[in-house]
Amino acid sequence: MNVDLTMLEWARAQFAMTALFHFFFVPFTLGMSFIVAFFETIYVKTGKKEWKEITQFWQLIFGINFALGLSTGIIHEFEFGTNWSTYSWVVGDLFGAPLAVEGIVAFFMEATFAAISFFGWKRVSKGVHLASTWLLAIGSNLSALWILIANGFMQHPSNEFGFFNIETSRLEMSDFWTLIVQPVAQVKFLHVVTAGYTLASIFVLGISALYLLKGKHKDFAKKSAAVAAAFGLISSIFVAVIGDEHAYEVANTQPTKIASAEGLYVGEKGAPIVAIGIPKNLKATEVTSNEEGFVFKIELPKMLSLLGKRDPNAYVPGLKDLIEGNEEYGIWPLSKLAQIGKEAREDLFKYHEAKKAGDKAGMEAAKADFYKVVWEDKEKGISLTKADLIGYGYFANSNVSPDLIYPPVPPVFYAFHIMVGLGFWFILLFFMSWISIVKGTFENNTLVQKLAVISVPLPWIATSFGWMTAEIGRQPWTVFGVLPTAESVTPIALQNVQATFFLFLTAFVILGIAELKILFTVVKSGPKGAH
């Protein structure tokens, strides 16, 4: 791989910065859109003015976040063309299709009904306005669906919905419907949107608790807290349930990610989950036992096997197995994968050389070899061709360390465990809040109120770490097993990437300060007419 690593790291840093800043707004938008719809539904059903005031207050906060989220999302999509044009060229047919649908359908749906929902209070009937608010919420979540379908393809490309076209040297779509319903994308979507619902619920609960602690807007705060606690409790439990399913999909499609997230260097039967630990940053090829990988750790026996294989005694491969192979469990070594990938790349070059020379026989021979089946499971009806493993050919170079085939363990481990730990805290917080609300003691329960206020920033930390687990854990690939990150960048001058990095950083800092200042001002002012 002949890549300027300095350029690569700057491009990755810029994309990570943009993604994390954009992701500050996305989950909040997903959750607040539905919370606003719930409040307005109650208003329409009861006809009580206070519910309209509650709806308009939270809608204002939603609108501020919604506007800034759109602007950062546009910047994010443009970066695929500026810094990652090789990636865009190779996978654009598969990756671009769901994004195009998102722009044409979901984005315009959001824009249309946002206008009615924000500005139509005195211009349309209650029914039309309520329908617009719900359609805005649905459109926002549909937008996330299409983006996560595209991301799901990056996490787990499959020849069930796409193939590498030897003629164009690109990945191309074969079945759009299969792309949409791929399990990896669907569980990822459900996990992300319910995390967004949890985040927004904690925000509403926390701000409501703040008002109660200050003795302000009590009726408004109690009503808002009741809806937020109920929605949040359901959402946070669902996050955990679907998170379990998500981990199962990851364990069976991206074994290097789950092994890194748990610091599993050497495969085990009845593999444990590390509940708490401090991992070392070691090379898997130099480790002989999992004990070497940690300064200390507290384990939950057999839970990783149960989580990843649905069998407490099942074998879970470690990073060392995924490099060196394990014949007993049918795990191919990286050297074998790299050799097949190298042959696929050679077949690709032979095909195009024969095409230039007008050698049809040579073209057909190279094509046949390129799509040769190297593994199949007849019972499940699945197979692998040499073309499916073409990405591993980049690791056939003897100068490339096999330890580059998996992500750095400590960042993925910490990101994953912090996300999971906070997720369980949110369930407990909502449970305590809901019990207190049902008993009628929430207004005077200062302990739960203070915990809710302190917890307001925590969901943003949890969702950011969740996204980092997904994206850092996919390394060294942009498209897992097909296209390495180092081969995906645009060959442009380093100075251009550095300049845009600091330009975007400045813009994001200004936007972030503006967002927080506006939010603090709105929260401080409180709901109009509330008492």
Q: What integer pLDDT is reported at residue 135 of this predicted model?
A: 93
Say yes or no: 399 and 335 in one domain. Answer: yes
- Residue 305 and residue 346 in one domain: no
529 has a pLDDT exceeding 60: no
Count of beta carbons in the 10 Å neighbourhood of residue 271: 29
What does the pLDDT look like over 54-63, one tens digit per residue?
Answer: 999 999 999 8
- Res 530: pLDDT: 42
In a domain, 339, yes or no: yes
| pLDDT value, residue 304 | 92
Q: Using 50, 70 and 90 to split pLDDT, how confident is the model at 476?
A: very high
pLDDT at position 512, please? 85
Determine the average pLDDT of the residues in 324-329.
Answer: 89
Please give the average per-residue pLDDT across 462-474, as a whole number: 93
Give the Cα separation of 51 and 43 in Å (integer). 5
With a pLDDT cut of 70, the percent of the chain lying above it is: 98
Residue 359 lies in a domain: yes
What integer is the mean pLDDT of 172-176?
Answer: 88
H and E: helices and strands count for the chain: 17, 10
C-beta neighbour count of 209 within 10 angstroms: 28
119 Cβ neighbours under 8 A, 6+ residues apart: none
Largest alpha-carbon pair distance within the chain? 84
Q: Find the mean pLDDT for residues 511-530.
A: 82
Task: Find the mean pLDDT for residues 488-501.
Answer: 86
Quick check: 28 pLDDT over 80?
A: yes
Question: pLDDT for 209-267, tens place per residue?
Answer: 999 999 999 999 999 999 999 999 999 999 999 999 999 999 889 999 999 999 999 99
Burial of residue 358 (CB within 10 Å: 0-12, 13-18, 19+) is: exposed
CA distance 363 to 356: 10
User: Are residues 453 and 211 in contact, defined by beta-carbon separation less than 8 angstroms?
Assistant: no
CB 445 within 8 A of CB 434: no
309 and 351 assigned to the same domain:
no
Instruction: Report the share of the chain in percent with pLDDT over 90.
Output: 52
Residue 479, domain member (yes or no): no
Copy the structure tokens of residue 469.
């687990």
Q: Tens of pLDDT along 135-167?
A: 999 988 988 899 899 888 899 888 888 888 899
- Helices 409-439 and 446-454: angle between axes, nearest 10 degrees: 150
Give residue-wise pLDDT tens across range 254-308: 999 999 999 999 999 999 999 999 998 888 888 888 888 899 999 999 999 998 8
The token pair that represents 404 in the structure block: 């580059």
- For the stretch 407-436, pLDDT in tens is 999 999 999 999 999 999 999 999 999 999
Distance CA 129, CA 121 (A): 7
For the chain, how many structural domains are there in total? Answer: 2
Residue 376 belongs to a domain: yes
Q: What angle do CA 418, 421, 423 make, to 5 degrees?
A: 105
pLDDT score for 76: 75
CA angle, 307 as apex, 301 and 311 as ends, to 5°?
Answer: 75
**Per-residue exposure over 150-162, b if at least 16 CB sit within 10 Å of its own CB, e if not:** bbbbbbbbbbebb
Domain boundary among 254, 281, 316: 316
Q: Is there a single domain that holds both residue 357 and residue 387? A: yes
Q: Do 400 and 339 fall within a single domain?
A: yes
Look at residues 273, 279, 266, 280 and name the one whose alpha carbon lies nearest to residue 299. Answer: 273
Look at residue 386 and tell me whether its pLDDT is greater than 80.
yes
Task: Determine the Cα–Cα distance for residues 304 and 504; give it in Å rounded to an integer.
Answer: 40
pLDDT for position 2 = 53
Q: Are strands 294-300 and 273-279 parallel, antiparallel or unpaired?
A: antiparallel
pLDDT band per the 50, 70, 90 thresholds, residue 169: confident
Average pLDDT over residues 346-355: 92
Position 367 confidence tier, pLDDT thresholds 50, 70, 90: very high
Q: Record the tokens describing residue 357, joined without a space.
A: 């020379």
Joined together, the tokens standing for residue 218 give 């009590």
The Cα 401–Cα 43 span in angstroms is 62
Domain boundary among 354, 379, 404: 404
Residues 312 and 332 in one domain: no
Residues 398 and 332 in one domain: yes
Does 515 reside within a domain? no
Peptide bond into 476 cis (omega under 30): yes
> 278: domain range?
263-316
HSE-CB at 374 with a 13 A cutoff on CA atoms is 18
Report if residue 465 sits inside a domain. no
**Residue 383 and residue 358 share a domain:** yes
Residue 265, amino acid: Y
Asked whether residue 287 is assigned to any structural domain, the reply reads yes
295 occurs within a structural domain: yes
- The burial class, CB within 10 Å (0-12 / 13-18 / 19+), for 127 is exposed
Residues facing 384 on adjacent strands? 375
The answer, yes or no, to whether residue 531 has pLDDT greater than 70, is no
385 beta partners: 373
116 against 78, higher pLDDT:
116
pTM of the model: 0.91
Instruction: Tell me the C-alpha to C-alpha distance, in Å, between residue 201 and each of 12, 122, 190, 339, 441.
Output: 32, 28, 16, 51, 19
Average pLDDT, the chain: 89
* Out of 6-15, 98-107, 140-149, least confident range: 98-107
Residue at which a domain ends, from 296, 316, 336: 316
**Parallel/antiparallel/unpaired status of strands 477-479 and 483-484:** antiparallel
